[in-house]
Each structure stands twice: as structure tokens, then as C-alpha cells.
Amino acid sequence: MTGSNDEGAPACQTCEDPVTENGERRVVSVVENGEAVHYEFCSVDCREAWDGAPN
């Protein structure tokens, strides 16, 4: 994305850094109470460190 920045980017579920389109972004989608919830991560390491609990 040309001209994009971290403003408005979702926070990583593990470290709370902005999740950007840097090539390592990961998303885990689950159904909670009948609704889809998407947890976003800034890297593979943060995804692997996630304990499954929402921030």
C-alpha cells in the first residue's frame, strides 16, 4: 500500500505493536458466542507466543 503508515493499524494481540503489512502478519479467526472474532499478530513469533486469551 503506497503511503500507508501505522496509524489506524490494529494492535498485535501479544505485544500490542501495530500490525502492518510487513510480510509476517498473521490472523487467527475463531467463533465466539456465534460471532467471528479475528485476532491479529505482527509476526510469527507473536502468534506462537499467544496463549489464546484476548488482550
Q: Tens digit of pLDDT for each residue in 32-46?
A: 999 999 999 999 999
| Most distant CA pair in the chain, distance | 37
Amino acid at 41: F
Amino acid at 16: E
Best CA proximity match to 54, nearest among 23, 10, 22, 5: 10
Does residue 13 lie in a domain region? yes
Does residue 15 lie in a domain region? yes
Q: How many domains does the chain have?
A: 1
Does residue 18 lie in a domain region? yes
Alpha helices in 1-55 (DSSP H): 44-49
Higher pLDDT, 53 or 18: 18
Does residue 2 lie in a domain region? no
Does residue 1 lie in a domain region? no
pTM to 2 decimal places: 0.75
What range does the domain containing 48 cover? 9-55
Q: How far are the Cα atoms of 17, 23, 43, 53 from residue 33, in angstroms, in the given order?
A: 27, 31, 27, 15
Does residue 17 lie in a domain region? yes
Does residue 21 lie in a domain region? yes
